[in-house]
Structure 1
């Protein structure tokens, strides 16, 4: 389990870096949308390379039978990247990411509580809600400083 935590910690470290780099690219070239396209092109290339190195293209053979709503994840990642690329230069990377964190806390609690999208059910107990509230308060406090 520790390696999962470390992977996600690294992903968490990467999110504000991604936001800052892509926002800077969007500002430099004058188009947050074009910066998003570049980001997705690089991400696509890296994903294809990893696909071939780790599992091979046969992993794509089951896509036809996948429920169509699962593909909405692509729209959500596009919305995240394009919105943070546009917003961060005007609002600040920290402010943008902190509000993303609040949204993640809320949606993660709902997904876990109801086991949405096949997620493991983890009921929202009073203790868990208090912990999420404390985390949200911590994020809010960073905005006041």
Structure 2
């Protein structure tokens, strides 16, 4: 399968997984009576899965390469933890759909800013009038879905 077909399909599956993850982890947090413990369990399972992937299929990059990276790059882990904790805590009372819709709105806005300025080494894609209109329509659609 070519990258032009595979990459969007993988990202679509990742997108499908986000609400499923949110619902599963929210339910685990509710059953345990601790969203933080559920988030920790999620993180351990995620770490184990990534570790196994790296051991079996991943590139042979030495772990020592981590020592030579700028410290700010590790903030991604803090953002990941924030996302896990917030979705696990808020989704049970706010609704998985509502929580994910606001996550999507945040993704649309931050992705546009990152692409527009080429932040963090991302490819630059200026926010054109057409892109801005598309983002407004997506945000409007999320608003309508959330209101229904």
Interval containing the TM-score (normalised by the shorter chain): over 0.9
Shift of 1:59: 3.9
Pairwise CA RMSD of aligned residues?
Answer: 1.0
Q: Aligned to 1:11, which of 7, 10, 14?
A: 14
Between 124-133 and 60-69, the greater mean CA deviation after superposition: 60-69
Q: 5 Å matches for 1:41-120?
A: 41-55=44-58, 58-120=61-123
Q: 5 Å matches for 1:26-41?
A: 26-41=29-44
Structure 1: gaps of 5 or more residues? none
- Report the count of equivalent residues: 145
TM-score, L = length of structure 2: 0.95
Shift of 1:144: 1.6
- 1:126 paired to 2:129: yes
- Mapped partners of 2:68, 2:131: distance in 1: 36
Shift of 1:61: 2.9
- Mapped partners of 1:53, 1:43: distance in 2: 15
Structure 2: gaps of 5 or more residues? none
- Mapped partners of 1:26, 1:39: distance in 2: 10
- Mapped partners of 2:5, 2:111: distance in 1: 20
- Please state whether the residue corresponding to 2:123 is helix, strand or coil: coil
- Please state whether the residue corresponding to 1:47 is helix, strand or coil: helix
Shift of 1:56: 5.4
TM-score, L = length of structure 1: 0.97
- Mapped partners of 2:59, 2:144: distance in 1: 46
